[in-house]
């Protein structure tokens, strides 16, 4: 745990008691702050009270006595409407902050590599952490991925925090400095939270706000929005990265990761990084690790040993010649496109809570889909999009979809057949979160009958 001492002896309200909020409360209390907490969900307040935290309703607080409001990123700061506590803080001049800004001030001597983007954040974050660890650099990985920022170990000088940052977290970073800041891509997402696409882009751009000369800004140029951002003036050194664009400083051409000095590594030897989207992720990770002082050869050696992440094109099993891939993290169409582009005979399980725009943008990939099995709230909308273009079945739920997909794949016996869970939707209609959805898929696949290929552990997550 990172101890936050800047509010020692002063009263601080922590709003939101999920993973990052609880970590912030513990870190502040360990640093001598008088911490009070609140969550709009009664169950979370009761759990906090049982854990010994002081619960206080913001509506009854004397805001003149508060030194700070520490927000969990899931609580609305601006849209669709600010939380009442935010309005009270603004009215009384109480600073509003988040856990990432607290970490930055508590660990001024460590370096931070921050990663954002609509898609690819988690893989890039984990890959950078893997490379740094293989190179012997003291590193801690967390933020939006895995461990809450303030639950990470204190590193001090020489250490590197590798932090995945969502647009929600970036709303709260203030002017925090990130020595290496990465923007992978930008596509419409979370517009209900940011109000407009411009608001969403503005949140993403905050990752660069505190950078200084000598820092590094890494920007993907494979989509138009991010490419335009790369052209904006900045204090930090700019590195353009791409999964294929030869104009980039670090790029992948014909499967070969390349920089200005020439070829670095053949990504065909990295089985857990399939497809063009992972080519860009690898380029970003290379650029970041070079900026952090890791040699080209050390990076090249680490890439094939990257173990991958669950729920991101995770190869669960090959049964009777059919591959079963868990891509539950694909919660929007752009993310699903990355997976659909990797396979030629797809039995596609899609649906859940639809995102704005649906799946119309995936039309170029429809020829790869042998049959779609639609689940959840989005099923009727998706069926209308697929009508006359892709054979599809209204499967209702995940167990039924998987059963039908297995039966059809077995009957049709197509070369390269892949049953792909890549929902292009949020999960909250039928599951707790995308991880719950992916875990359920994995468990269902594990129980399927048939002759299995034994997978190399290094190839079990793609």
Active-site residue set: 121, 144, 190
First to last CA, the chain: 31
- Distance (Å) of CA 84 to CA 21, 77, 357: 17, 10, 31
Other CB atoms closer than 10 Å to residue 360's CB: what's the count?
A: 11
The 3 state secondary structure assigned to the chain is CCCCCCCCCCEEEEECCCHHHHHHHHHHHHCCCEEEEECCCHHHHHHHHHCCCEECCHHHCCHHHEEEEEECCCCCCCCCCCCHHHHHHHHHCCCEECHHHHHHHHCCCCEEEEEECCCCHHHHHHHHHHHHHHCCCCEEEEECCCECHHHCCCCCCCCEEEEECCHHHHCCCCCCCCCEEEECCCCCCCHHHHCCHHHHHHHHHHHHCCCCCCCEEEEECCCHHHHHHHCCCCCCEEEEECCCCCCCCEEEECCEEEECCEEEEEHHHCCCCCHHHHHHHHHHHHHHHHHCCCCHHHHHHHHHHCCCCCCCCEEEEEECCEEEEECCCCCCHHHHHHHHCCCCEEEEEEECEECCCCCHHHHHHHHHEEEEEEECCCHHHHHHHHCCCCCEEEEECHHHHHHHHHHHHHHHCCCCEEEEECCCEECCCCCCCHHHHHHHHHHHHHCCCCCECCCCHHHCCC
Sign of CA dihedral 265, 266, 269, 275: positive
Q: Give the up-direction half-sphere exposure of residue 85: CA atoms within 13 A in the CB hemisphere.
A: 26
Q: Which residues of 200-227 are buried (b: 16+ CB within 10 A; e: fewer)?
A: bbebbbbbbebbeeebbbbbbbbbebbb
Contact present, 295 and 391 (Cβ < 8 Å): no
């Amino acid at each position: 745990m990172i101890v936050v001492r800047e509010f020692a002896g002063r009263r601080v309200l922590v709003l939101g008691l999920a993973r990052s909020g609880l970590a912030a409360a513990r870190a502040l209390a360990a640093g001598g702050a008088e911490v009070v907490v609140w969550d709009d969900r009664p169950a979370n307040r009761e759990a906090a009270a049982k854990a010994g935290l002081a619960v206080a309703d913001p509506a009854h607080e004397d805001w003149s006595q508060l030194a700070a409001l520490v927000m969990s990123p899931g609580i609305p700061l601006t849209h669709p409407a600010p939380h009442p506590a935010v309005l009270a803080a603004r009215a009384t001049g109480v600073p509003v902050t988040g856990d990432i800004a607290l970490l930055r001030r508590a660990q001024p001597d460590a370096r931070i590599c921050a990663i954002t983007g609509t898609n690819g954040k988690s893989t890039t974050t984990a890959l950078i952490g893997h490379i740094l660890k293989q190179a012997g650099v003291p590193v801690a990985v967390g933020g939006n991925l895995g461990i809450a920022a303030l639950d990470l170990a204190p590193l001090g000088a020489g250490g590197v925090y590798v932090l995945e940052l969502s647009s929600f977290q970036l709303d709260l970073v203030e002017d925090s400095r990130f020595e290496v800041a990465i923007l992978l891509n930008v596509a419409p997402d979370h517009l209900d939270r940011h109000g407009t696409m411009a608001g969403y882009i503005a949140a993403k751009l905050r990752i660069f706000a505190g950078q200084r000369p000598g820092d590094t800004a890494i920007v993907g140029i494979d989509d138009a929005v991010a490419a335009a951002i790369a052209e904006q003036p900045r204090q930090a050194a700019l590195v353009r990265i791409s999964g294929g664009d030869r104009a980039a400083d670090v790029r992948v051409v014909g499967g070969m990761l390349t920089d200005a000095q020439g070829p670095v590594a053949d990504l065909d030897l990295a089985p857990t990084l399939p497809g063009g989207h992972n080519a860009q992720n690898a380029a970003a990770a290379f650029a970041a690790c070079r900026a952090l002082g890791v040699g080209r050869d050390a990076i090249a050696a680490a890439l094939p040993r990257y173990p991958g992440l669950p729920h991101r094109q995770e190869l669960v099993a090959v049964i009777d010649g059919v591959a079963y891939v868990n891509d539950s993290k694909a919660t929007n169409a752009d993310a699903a496109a990355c997976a659909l582009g990797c396979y030629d005979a797809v039995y596609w399980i899609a649906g859940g809570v639809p995102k704005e725009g649906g799946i119309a943008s995936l039309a170029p990939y429809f020829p790869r889909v042998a049959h779609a099995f639609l689940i959840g709230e989005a099923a009727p909308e998706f069926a209308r999009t697929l009508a006359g273009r892709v054979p599809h079945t209204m499967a209702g739920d995940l167990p039924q979809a998987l059963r039908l997909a297995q039966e059809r794949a077995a009957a049709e016996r197509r070369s390269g057949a892949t049953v792909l869970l890549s929902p292009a939707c949020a999960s909250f209609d039928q599951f707790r979160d995308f991880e719950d959805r992916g875990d359920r898929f994995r468990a269902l696949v594990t129980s399927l009958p048939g002759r299995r290929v034994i997978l190399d552990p290094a190839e079990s997550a793609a």
